[in-house]
């Protein structure tokens, strides 16, 4: 920031030393003849609006002010052209951007066009041109020399500046050539204005200046409309990409990636809203997801909290606008901020905050675009949550919430296929059954039996290795699938499970007694183990073999023990 202020100050001093004194020196040495003040005023107005509403190509403005500056030069000479040009460039200061940045831009353009005007005037006179003449071909040739020199040096100086600033790789680019051709193509209009002014006076402004200016304005706003339409089309495309994602977590991640690329942001944060509080749930900074220790925000706290409280989006154009509002974490390079509530059924479900290192990076119309993207997001989050719930319901046991028999069959077939293709070397199944479970139901009631099943499921999940899954096989039977685990290791794990469960008290509230008092009871397990390739290479044979080991090797041998299948 200090370096920017220092550069702006030096540039201002340079401008004060050169431009005002230079204009006065030219007036002193080459004063214009008799001038029409109304013409000059109209030239200045037309030039000002030409700079204010430029044609934008590839994100860069193409200034067409020369179509006004050239006839001013041809009529009255260099001094009047300098006045018209310098007044026209004041339009740069009107743009809604950071003031210091706009003043710097004005000083740079003012200095650049000051020198270009002088160099071009020298080329004009060197080509035999005379100010105020009506000799068409001599004026035509000299005017084109004027414009070619002006355009050539403009592109060279601008190319050098951007190369130094590392904003473009070469002095001459395809874009620069096209822009130069556009500027040169405008010269016939400038000559037409000059000759019409000479022949018909002020009527020339009504014949060509005002119509040309209206066309320029229409083109400017049409360009903005086309840009908005392109963004709307892109938003629809992004919405289609989001609709293809079926899980909520992946959807959140993809949403942050898409909006970051769409708006060319450096930072993106998503806050979840619960009971008046905002919790930061995902952070995406400079192309990667990061973990941030960020305290929850109440309504009115921080930028996201202000959006929650007002129920309205906010745009901050630079850091000093939001520094006093911000609470907690904020990267030091963050400048522009766009913060929007994400609503569903007229309730704020979340808040998204986008930020850029650039000042004035966001426009008002982008609020509508982001609101559309947020609408796609909320619809797809709802769809994803329904799908996830449906998948869970189809794969999970409704009572214990572990996997069900249908999922178990599919998973065993999948893991067996992996074994057959050499992706895993071993596959083990551990089947367990609660001993004397019928007595538990008869003595304490089915609600107590269900409580034990649920408690056992939670305990098995807690003991489960990372590679394994647990499923309810039916009734009081559970199956643990262990891909990549040998039969001996599975037997050792089964013994660990049996021992842990035998020593674990399960708390129940019997529903068959009048007194509803909690009791701690103990249960035991009979367990059977089978494995691939030791016992079979068929998927369903694994379950049959483990079931046989459980009943013959464990139940009939006295219960509360582990038995391995033997052929």
CATH of domain 405-564: 3.30.70.270
Euclidean distance between CA atoms 252 and 270, whole angstroms: 8
Tell me 92's DSSP state.
G
Kindly state the percentage of the chain with pLDDT values over 70.
83
Query: Contact at 8 Å (CB) between 523 and 434?
Result: yes
Same topology, domains 248-394 and 405-564? Answer is: no
Kindly state the percentage of the chain with pLDDT values over 90.
26
Residue of higher predicted confidence among 2 and 64: 64
pLDDT score at 296: 87
Tell me 555's DSSP state.
I
Mean local confidence (pLDDT), 332-348:
89
Euclidean distance between CA atoms 258 and 238, whole angstroms: 7
Q: Which two tokens stand for residue 376?
A: 């796609």
Euclidean distance between CA atoms 245 and 254, whole angstroms: 9
CATH topology for the 248-394 domain:
Beta-Lactamase (3.30.450)
User: pLDDT tens digit string along 61-116?
Assistant: 556 777 788 888 999 989 999 999 999 888 888 765 556 677 888 888 889 899 99
The packing angle between helices 2-29 and 78-89, to 10°, is: 150
Mean local confidence (pLDDT), 482-486:
92
Confidence check: pLDDT of 238 > 70: no
Task: Identify the top-confidence range among 3-17, 198-212, 248-262, 453-467.
Answer: 453-467
Confidence check: pLDDT of 283 > 70: yes
User: pLDDT tens digit string along 487-499?
Assistant: 999 999 999 999 9
pLDDT score at 248: 76
Whole-structure pTM over 0.75, yes or no? no
Tell me 527's DSSP state.
E
Q: Which two tokens stand for residue 413?
A: 């077939």
Q: Which two tokens stand for residue 120?
A: 């071009």
Q: Which two tokens stand for residue 215?
A: 């066309």
Contacts of 378 (CB under 8 A, 6+ apart): 342, 343, 344, 349
Tell me the three state secondary structure of residue 285.
Answer: strand
Residue of higher predicted confidence among 357 and 246: 357
Confidence check: pLDDT of 481 > 80: yes
User: pLDDT tens digit string along 117-154?
Assistant: 999 999 999 998 898 888 888 888 998 898 888 888 88
Euclidean distance between CA atoms 196 and 207, whole angstroms: 8
User: pLDDT tens digit string along 374-386?
Assistant: 887 887 777 766 6
The packing angle between helices 78-89 and 99-126, to 10°, is: 160
Tell me the three state secondary structure of residue 35.
Answer: coil
Query: Contact at 8 Å (CB) between 340 and 370?
Result: yes
Residue of higher predicted confidence among 327 and 211: 327
pLDDT score at 496: 95
Euclidean distance between CA atoms 368 and 289, whole angstroms: 26
Query: Contact at 8 Å (CB) between 253 and 260?
Result: no
Q: Nearest CA to 256 among 285, 224, 298, 213?
A: 285
User: pLDDT tens digit string along 497-514?
Assistant: 999 999 999 988 887 666
User: pLDDT tens digit string along 447-477?
Assistant: 888 999 999 999 999 999 988 999 998 889 9
Euclidean distance between CA atoms 328 and 79, whole angstroms: 56
pLDDT score at 514: 64
Q: Which two tokens stand for residue 297?
A: 């925000």
Mean local confidence (pLDDT), 166-177:
55
Q: Which two tokens stand for residue 521?
A: 């009871």
Four-point Cα dihedral 314, 317, 320, 324, nearest 10: 10
Delimit the domains of the chain by residue range: 2-223, 248-394, 405-564
Euclidean distance between CA atoms 106 and 499, whole angstroms: 82
Contacts of 35 (CB under 8 A, 6+ apart): 76, 80
Query: Contact at 8 Å (CB) between 466 and 496?
Result: no
pLDDT score at 169: 46
Confidence check: pLDDT of 34 > 90: no
Strands (E), 447-513: 469-474, 477-483, 506-508
Query: Contact at 8 Å (CB) between 500 and 459?
Result: yes
Q: Nearest CA to 531 among 483, 494, 460?
A: 483
Query: Contact at 8 Å (CB) between 85 and 70?
Result: no
Query: Contact at 8 Å (CB) between 64 and 183?
Result: yes
pLDDT score at 379: 78
pLDDT score at 339: 92
């Amino acid at each position: 920031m200090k370096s920017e202020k220092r550069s702006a100050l030096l540039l201002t001093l340079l401008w004060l030393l050169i431009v005002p004194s230079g204009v006065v020196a030219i007036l002193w040495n080459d004063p214009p003849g008799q001038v029409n003040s109304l013409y000059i005023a109209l030239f200045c107005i037309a030039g000002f609006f030409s700079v204010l509403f430029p044609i934008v190509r590839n994100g860069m403005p193409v200034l067409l002010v020369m179509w006004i500056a050239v006839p001013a030069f041809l009529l009255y000479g260099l001094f009047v052209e300098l006045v018209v040009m310098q007044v026209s460039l004041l339009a740069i200061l009107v743009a809604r951007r950071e003031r210091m940045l706009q003043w710097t831009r004005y000083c740079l353009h003012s200095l650049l066009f000051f020198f270009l005007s002088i160099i071009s005037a020298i080329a004009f006179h060197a080509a035999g041109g005379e100010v105020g003449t009506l000799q068409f071909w001599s004026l035509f040739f000299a005017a084109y020399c004027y414009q070619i020199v002006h355009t050539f040096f403009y592109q060279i100086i601008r190319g050098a500046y951007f190369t130094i600033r590392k904003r473009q790789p070469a002095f001459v680019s395809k874009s620069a050539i096209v822009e130069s051709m556009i500027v040169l193509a405008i010269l016939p209009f400038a000559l037409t204005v000059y000759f019409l002014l000479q022949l018909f006076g002020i009527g020339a402004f009504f014949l060509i200046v005002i119509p040309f200016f209206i066309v320029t304005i229409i083109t400017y706003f049409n360009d903005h409309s086309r840009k908005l339409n392109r963004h709307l089309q892109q938003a629809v495309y992004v919405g289609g990409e989001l609709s293809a994602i079926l899980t909520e977590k992946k959807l959140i991640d993809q949403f942050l990636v898409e909006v970051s690329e769409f708006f060319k942001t450096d930072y993106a944060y998503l806050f979840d809203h619960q009971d008046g509080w905002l919790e930061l749930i995902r952070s995406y900074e400079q192309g990667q997801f990061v973990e941030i220790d960020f305290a929850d925000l109440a309504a009115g706290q921080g930028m996201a909290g202000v959006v929650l409280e007002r129920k309205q989006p906010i745009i901050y154009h630079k850091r000093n606008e939001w520094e006093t509002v911000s609470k907690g974490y904020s990267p030091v390079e963050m400048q522009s901020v766009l913060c929007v509530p994400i609503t569903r059924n007229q309730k704020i479900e979340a808040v998204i905050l986008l930020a850029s290192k650039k000042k004035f990076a966001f426009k008002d119309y982008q609020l509508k675009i982001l609101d559309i993207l947020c609408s796609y997001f909320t619809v797809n989050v709802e769809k994803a949550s329904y799908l996830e719930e449906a998948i869970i319901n189809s794969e999970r046991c409704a009572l214990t919430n572990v996997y069900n028999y249908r999922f178990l069959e599919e998973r065993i077939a999948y893991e067996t296929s992996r074994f057959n293709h050499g992706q895993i070397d071993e596959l083990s199944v551990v089947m367990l059954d609660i001993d004397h479970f019928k007595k538990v139901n008869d003595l304490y009631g089915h609600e107590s039996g269900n409580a034990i099943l649920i408690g056992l499921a939670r305990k098995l999940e807690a003991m489960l290795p990372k590679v394994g899954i647990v499923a309810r096989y039916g009734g009081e039977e559970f199956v643990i699938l262990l891909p990549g685990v040998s039969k001996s290791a599975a037997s050792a794990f089964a013994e660990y499970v049996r021992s842990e469960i035998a020593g674990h008290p399960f708390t129940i509230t019997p529903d068959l007694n009048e007194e509803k008092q909690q009791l701690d009871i103990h249960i035991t397990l009979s367990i059977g183990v089978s494995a691939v390739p030791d016992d079979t290479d068929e998927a369903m044979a694994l379950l049959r073999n483990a079931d046989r080991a459980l009943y013959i090797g464990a139940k009939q041998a006295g219960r509360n023990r582990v038995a391995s299948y033997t052929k």
